[in-house]
Structure 1
Amino acid sequence: MKNPSWINCESRQRALEHVAHHTVDVVVVGGGITGAGVALDAVSRGLSVALIESHDFGAGTSGYSSKLIHGGLRYLARMDFAVAWESAMERRWLMSNIAPHLVRPLGFVIPDARSAPAWEGAAAALGVVIYDVLRRLSGLGSKTLPRPQLLSNQAVTALAPALDVTALRRGYLYWDGQAVDDARLVLGVVRTAARHGAHVLRDVKASSLTATTVEAVDTRTGARVAIQARAVVNTTGVWAGDFEPQLSVTPSRGTHLVVRAERMGNPHAAHTVGVPGHFGRYVFVLPQPCGLVYIGLTDEADHTADGHRPQVPEHDVDFLLDVVNATLTVPLTREDVVGSFAGLRPLVEAAHGDGPDGTADISRRHLIRDVPGAPITVVGGKMTTYRRMAQDAVDAVVARLGIEASCRTKTLPLVGAASATVLGTIDAPARLVAKYGTEAAAVQALQLQDPRLAEPLFDGTEITGAELFFAVQAEGAASMADLLERRTRLAFVPADAALARGRAEQILAMAESFSSREQTSARNEAGE
């Protein structure tokens, strides 16, 4: 029997057949991190679940974030203690129980500029201390997230070489969580839901929802899909208002620029840059495991953008370069920017109001809308708090169904999760362990099946054909966009994606042929 966590064309067909003939307890509409979390929470409580997504999992906002699992330092600056505390607790569960293989510690340097008023440095130091108190109160130990430190200029240079330390008094170092890849976190939650029995369906686009039904279309075939359920949960993010007219959802565009790590001196820590005139708002310079640095992010209302492919306007590029260049010894130019990406955050304007700073001032609290006779809608929030959002939504589901079933997800590990001790024993490269956890050895073993799977996709990358093959076999990938944009993130640097495309097309064809032969063999064995 195949791994029950695998999602692919075969599992999709089984799910389609099941929902065509059975009423499920819950159907979740939207396969971003929130929908994935709701599906996992519900199925782990013993409910029968169908999860539908109109595109690929994580193809919208959830795959294009800053990749941070953070306790909410900026929320402390805005005195939003409730969100900061909730974020700190959810960070604890992710880093200690749920996904320690996908969330790693990342140091952040806060530069204390000589040109800034002294009180700003003092405020930053106090904020870092309070932030660490939240870390300790949440139960997350200093072995996972170290205590903050006061940095000399020499120490700042060692961690963030691109910073102009001659303009600094000192620096402050604090630690937070960084997702190795936000799209992988979404996939991990989806596959864990599948492992527990959820019926997972991508490329199924909902057209209408009621409290107990979903009308949808299979976008691969054009066939109608009608799903009956005891409860329907709307987790469609920036599209939530399409199914819930009483909500006013403000899409906020978060743009990031991509530069090569060597251009920034190969930093060992992230650093923050305060946005002039906006206390508590920052631009982050975020080193990635893949030799890149992301610089972001903007926070601007965008009601016309494509939720799956929002364009990056020129003024976003100018804004991010202007802010970050104020702190660098050698300013970045447009030629240093090798890529960019943006996501749209679903902010609930009606629930929290719009402040003087536009969408940057709207709270990141989430909203559960539970009105009798209508779908349950969950919207707002952020990636760090997806699990709590899901818990609140499923609490509403079980109350509506009149049953008792407690949440189990605080300590429920995702597919591939294990302690650092266990992960250290896996016979696979550290890069694969960081990406796949306990499944790294299985991905490594694929390289023995065919020489094409062992070779890097192009000179200058460590990504092999085996990773693409596994993406089709076990992670639901079905197109070049899935492989290059979300399973590898090569599309963040278009020049790299172009180099990989030829090999990726070969691997996709190979994986599809292999899957087709397996399905034919299975039908023959079943006597069909």
Structure 2
Amino acid sequence: MSTSGTSSRLTPTTRQESLDALRASTDEPVDVLVVGGGVTGAGIALDAVTRGLTTAIVEAQDWSSGTSSRSSKLVHGGLRYLQMLDFSLVHEALTERDLLITKLAPHLVRPVSFLYPLEHRVWERGYVGAGVALYDTLASIAPGKRALPLHKHVTRKGMARLFPDLRHDAAIGAVRYWDGSVDDARLVTTLIRTAASYGAHAASRTQLVELTKDASGRVDGAVLADLETGDRFPVKARNVINATGVWTEETESLAGTEGGLRVLASKGVHIVVPRERIKGKVGLILQTEKSVLFVIPWSRYWVIGTTDTPWEQELQHPVATSADIEYVLERANSVLADPITRDDIIGTWAGLRPLLQPGTKEGTSSAKVSREHTVASPTPGLTVIAGGKLTTYRVMAQDAVDFALGKGAKARPSITTNVPLLGATGLEVQQNWGRRHAATYGWTPALVDHLLHRYGALLSDIVEMCEADPGMAAPLAHAPAYLRAEIAYAVSHEGVLHLEDIMLHRTRLNYEVADRGIAALDEISRIAADGLGWDEDTRLAEVAAYTARAEAEAAAEQDPDDATAERTRLAADDVAPLAELTAGGTGGGHKPGSPTDSRAAAGPAGT
């Protein structure tokens, strides 16, 4: 696989070229086939290709469409793990956090500070202060210069200045500490594009439907389904790595063995409230009886969450119920001087955490096992990684590729600590040009900051579009936080195949505005149609499909429980439905997301 002149663009054409290359693998197998296009799979693809391995990655839906676009959007060390005395895990996560902020993705990952309110004057201030001091210490011993400020103790007066809407009697003071925030979906897209720039083949809406084996019983490839055409074809790979998160057991079952990891799904829900509705300059972190609740300042709004409840429905479309929303509101209002209501909410999202269950199935070899993730092999040729969190995706990727390569890993060590993501190199140059761009196109400082956060040094690509067509520099009429150029760029560079890809993952309009972006659909769909060559019937069908999805999600929020909400959500059809699977080459498989016997027997996930 040559990487000379390789483009970072993801388009329908590059997708087809990747599928063609995979078809050709029956003559010359790829070294690594990654299954799953979330942050872990994307990280694995980048790790593998930068080691000099021929690499391909496939995703059954859009990039980051599962857990990796539905997180709390934080890059953090895991303050709660200090309570469990898991110092090594916290140190690892803090090291990765600082590496992202300072080197790998300083445009995507930015510092954000939080107040940890204190209710007791003496013992709690000392207890929490000591814990946060240890958090800072573990960050300080990470390689390189400190990325974030040290924590500070804040008086009640200081709290009132930093967060005026914090109820006066909610705390006697606070500890202010720092972590990072990230647009999770953009991180994944950038990882995929970076991997593609080094020669990785990347194909979304491409589903693994069967694992194949050679005469010795080793997994030697797969059968893939192109969900855009319905075509199925075989591929060959020296190593297949399963990074499918909550779909881990479903993918493992295709090997026709009983081995593998046990993963259960837990639902987390977030609500979105306009920034002006709550007066505050920093975030809050609150300990509840069931979970940690964050009130996170983000762009033009606040993100508030999360919940932690068992999810026993299909895996593709988790939804927020009325009960979920009321729970988040109640916990947030316990400390807010001016309580928020459902009328203040402009959006929600629900995601599924892949909870790694203790131990592995019989006959499974495992490598690195931590409280967060495990790498294992249920059968030769197939590597499985599960658990973990967004912050440590790079370590997880390194562990997975090391395990797949076995003894060969020493000859091809990971180098991703030294591989900045697209947009990182040259960031300061574009920051320095920001004022000139603003003056040229009439952009506000906030809009320039928005563009730098999303694209980093790749802002020059957006500017080139605007130079070629000044109309691209204008904001969308019904979603003015975004430029027309950003929609065109999503189509020309970021792998968009359907309108929902833009609304859910290239922008955040699905939950950033009260109508889920429906008012902006006409303008956005016309820009997409120009770039993707849609005729009018196709454009209208895409608009109808997204509208039906948005309306079904909104209706599900009124339902009281998961089962009812799921039925409401599934009334809207998928633009590219998943295919049936073939377990162990024997036929008669099941669809990812349908309950398996092992999942049903395991019972609900713990909180």
- What is the TM-score when the length of structure 2 is the normalising length? 0.78
Paired residue for 1:39, among 10, 27, 45? Answer: 45
Specify the alignment match of 1:513 in structure 2.
533
Paired residue for 2:267, among 248, 253, 264? Answer: 253
Paired residue for 2:420, among 391, 413, 431? Answer: 413
Once the two structures are superposed, residues 453-512 of structure 1 have per-residue CA deviations (whole angstroms, 9 ceiling, x without a partner) of 222112562201100110010100121111111111010134151222111111101111
Paired residue for 2:207, among 205, 208, 217? Answer: 205
Which secondary structure does the structure 1 equivalent of 2:224 belong to? strand
User: Given residue 270 of structure 1, which amino acid in structure 2 is its aligned partner?
Assistant: G
For structure 1, the 5+ residue unaligned runs are 354-361, 516-528
Which secondary structure does the structure 2 equivalent of 1:495 belong to? coil
CA distance in 1, matches of 2:310, 2:370: 14
CA distance in 1, matches of 2:124, 2:310: 28
| Distance of aligned partners of 1:352 and 1:377 in 2 relative to their CA distance in 1, 3 Å threshold | closer
Specify the alignment match of 1:522 in structure 2.
none
Specify the alignment match of 2:128 in structure 1.
124
C-alpha contact (below 8 Å) 2:262/2:360 kept by paired residues = no
**How much identity, in percent, do the aligned residues show?**
36
Specify the alignment match of 1:134 in structure 2.
138
C-alpha contact (below 8 Å) 1:54/1:206 kept by paired residues = yes
User: Given residue 348 of structure 2, which amino acid in structure 1 is its aligned partner?
Assistant: S
CA distance in 2, matches of 1:489, 1:243: 29
Specify the alignment match of 2:540 in structure 1.
none
User: Given residue 112 of structure 1, which amino acid in structure 2 is its aligned partner?
Assistant: L
CA distance in 2, matches of 1:459, 1:158: 34
1:65 corresponds to 2:85: no
Please say which of residues 59-68 and 116-125 is displaced more in the overlay: 116-125
C-alpha contact (below 8 Å) 1:351/1:367 kept by paired residues = no
CA distance in 2, matches of 1:40, 1:421: 24
Q: Shift of residue 117 of structure 1? A: 7.8
User: Given residue 158 of structure 2, which amino acid in structure 1 is its aligned partner?
Assistant: A
CA distance in 2, matches of 1:123, 1:420: 40
Which secondary structure does the structure 2 equivalent of 1:461 belong to? strand
| Distance of aligned partners of 1:363 and 1:255 in 2 relative to their CA distance in 1, 3 Å threshold | farther
CA distance in 1, matches of 2:52, 2:16: 23
User: Given residue 369 of structure 1, which amino acid in structure 2 is its aligned partner?
Assistant: A
Once the two structures are superposed, residues 169-222 of structure 1 have per-residue CA deviations (whole angstroms, 9 ceiling, x without a partner) of 11110000111x110100111011000000111111111224221111100000
1:262 corresponds to 2:276: yes
Specify the alignment match of 1:491 in structure 2.
510
Specify the alignment match of 2:308 in structure 1.
299
Q: Shift of residue 158 of structure 1? A: 2.6
CA distance in 2, matches of 1:420, 1:129: 31
Q: Shift of residue 274 of structure 1? A: 1.6
| Distance of aligned partners of 1:364 and 1:301 in 2 relative to their CA distance in 1, 3 Å threshold | farther
Please say which of residues 163-172 and 256-265 is displaced more in the overlay: 163-172
C-alpha contact (below 8 Å) 1:230/1:401 kept by paired residues = no
CA distance in 1, matches of 2:508, 2:109: 17
CA distance in 2, matches of 1:366, 1:505: 40
Specify the alignment match of 2:569 in structure 1.
none
Which secondary structure does the structure 1 equivalent of 2:269 belong to? strand
1:24 corresponds to 2:44: no
Structural RMSD (CA): 2.3
User: Given residue 344 of structure 1, which amino acid in structure 2 is its aligned partner?
Assistant: L
CA distance in 1, matches of 2:241, 2:407: 12
Paired residue for 2:293, among 258, 273, 283? Answer: 283
Which secondary structure does the structure 2 equivalent of 1:389 belong to? helix
CA distance in 2, matches of 1:225, 1:440: 38
Q: Shift of residue 62 of structure 1? A: 0.3
1:471 corresponds to 2:479: no
Which secondary structure does the structure 2 equivalent of 1:351 belong to? strand
Which secondary structure does the structure 2 equivalent of 1:111 belong to? strand
C-alpha contact (below 8 Å) 2:264/2:354 kept by paired residues = yes
C-alpha contact (below 8 Å) 1:41/1:391 kept by paired residues = yes
Which secondary structure does the structure 2 equivalent of 1:329 belong to? coil
1:377 corresponds to 2:380: no
Specify the alignment match of 2:584 in structure 1.
none
Q: Shift of residue 149 of structure 1? A: 0.8
User: Given residue 82 of structure 1, which amino acid in structure 2 is its aligned partner?
Assistant: S
Paired residue for 2:118, among 93, 108, 112? Answer: 112
Q: Shift of residue 85 of structure 1? A: 1.7
Which secondary structure does the structure 2 equivalent of 1:463 belong to? strand
CA distance in 2, matches of 1:101, 1:423: 11
Q: Shift of residue 423 of structure 1? A: 4.3
| Distance of aligned partners of 1:203 and 1:60 in 2 relative to their CA distance in 1, 3 Å threshold | same
CA distance in 2, matches of 1:352, 1:96: 36
C-alpha contact (below 8 Å) 1:364/1:382 kept by paired residues = no
CA distance in 2, matches of 1:398, 1:363: 20
Which secondary structure does the structure 1 equivalent of 2:468 belong to? coil
Once the two structures are superposed, residues 47-73 of structure 1 have per-residue CA deviations (whole angstroms, 9 ceiling, x without a partner) of 000100111100110011111110111
| Distance of aligned partners of 1:403 and 1:147 in 2 relative to their CA distance in 1, 3 Å threshold | closer
Which secondary structure does the structure 2 equivalent of 1:501 belong to? helix
CA distance in 2, matches of 1:451, 1:222: 39
Once the two structures are superposed, residues 301-354 of structure 1 have per-residue CA deviations (whole angstroms, 9 ceiling, x without a partner) of 2121433x211122211211111111110111111112110111111113399x
CA distance in 1, matches of 2:230, 2:472: 34
1:455 corresponds to 2:474: yes
Paired residue for 1:54, among 50, 56, 60? Answer: 60
Paired residue for 1:170, among 154, 173, 179? Answer: 173
- What is the TM-score when the length of structure 1 is the normalising length? 0.89
| Distance of aligned partners of 1:422 and 1:352 in 2 relative to their CA distance in 1, 3 Å threshold | farther
Q: Shift of residue 3 of structure 1? A: 6.6
CA distance in 1, matches of 2:110, 2:235: 39
Which secondary structure does the structure 2 equivalent of 1:158 belong to? helix
C-alpha contact (below 8 Å) 1:286/1:293 kept by paired residues = yes
For structure 2, the 5+ residue unaligned runs are 213-218, 254-258, 362-368, 438-447, 536-607
Q: Shift of residue 243 of structure 1? A: 2.2
CA distance in 1, matches of 2:412, 2:165: 52
C-alpha contact (below 8 Å) 1:208/1:215 kept by paired residues = yes
Q: Shift of residue 92 of structure 1? A: 2.1
C-alpha contact (below 8 Å) 1:249/1:350 kept by paired residues = no
Q: Shift of residue 101 of structure 1? A: 1.1
| Distance of aligned partners of 1:363 and 1:163 in 2 relative to their CA distance in 1, 3 Å threshold | farther
1:99 corresponds to 2:105: yes
Please say which of residues 374-383 and 459-468 is displaced more in the overlay: 459-468
C-alpha contact (below 8 Å) 1:25/1:230 kept by paired residues = yes
C-alpha contact (below 8 Å) 2:224/2:233 kept by paired residues = yes
| Distance of aligned partners of 1:287 and 1:350 in 2 relative to their CA distance in 1, 3 Å threshold | same
1:215 corresponds to 2:230: no
C-alpha contact (below 8 Å) 1:418/1:438 kept by paired residues = yes
